[in-house]
Amino acid sequence: SILFDGSTQYAATSNIALSFTTFSMECLVKYTSLSGNQGLFTYNNNNVINLWKGSGLGMRWEVNTSSQSITGANDLATGVWYHFVGVYNGSQGILYRNGIVYAGPTTLTSHTSEAANFEIGRYNGAGNTNGNIAIARFYTRALTATEVLQNYNATKTRFGL
């Protein structure tokens, strides 16, 4: 896993143009601190796709804008590995934690594809993660509940989930 300091460290790609109408983001994280906004995985230009922990919130899955989002319960803890997957099937979003539905399904408007940067460990140009990120995957399709559980089961022993 990669340890991010919550201040200046994150990973980013240069502008990548993708065309998709369904997608999924997957991330495995262990927080050192829960203060402030902390981005896990972002594909962001004008139309956002964000998987992040909000200040005073649980994990949040955003598609298009912050008003198009799903937020899980504010029950995260430091020192614990979490497997998060945000899925968008073209009309609804679902947020999974550790292989089961954490929030949603919620109707969301369609995403407009565009060129953008992928960022790991940062939210929307700020809000850096304070903790470890071990997995960050982007799929240009909606994962099924079976696939989400399969991915969780494939990693849970390795990370003590």
Count CB-CB contacts under 10 A for residue 8: 8
Q: What is the pLDDT along the chain (161 residues), one digit of tens a residue?
A: 888 888 888 888 877 777 678 889 999 999 999 988 898 888 775 557 888 888 777 888 888 755 678 888 889 999 999 999 999 998 899 999 999 999 988 888 766 667 778 888 988 777 899 999 999 999 989 999 999 999 999 999 998 88
Residues 98/159, Cβ–Cβ less than 8 Å: no
pTM of the model: 0.90
Q: Return left, alpha or beta for 159; rule: phi > 0 is left, psi -120 to 50 is alpha, else beta.
A: alpha
Alpha-carbon distances, residue 23 vs 6, 43, 86, 110, 116 (angstroms): 27, 11, 8, 11, 15
Q: CA–CA separation, 156 vs 83, rounded Å? A: 8
Structure tokens at 14: 């240069």
Q: CA–CA separation, 66 vs 49, rounded Å? A: 9
Backbone angles phi, psi at 34, to 5 degrees: -110, 10
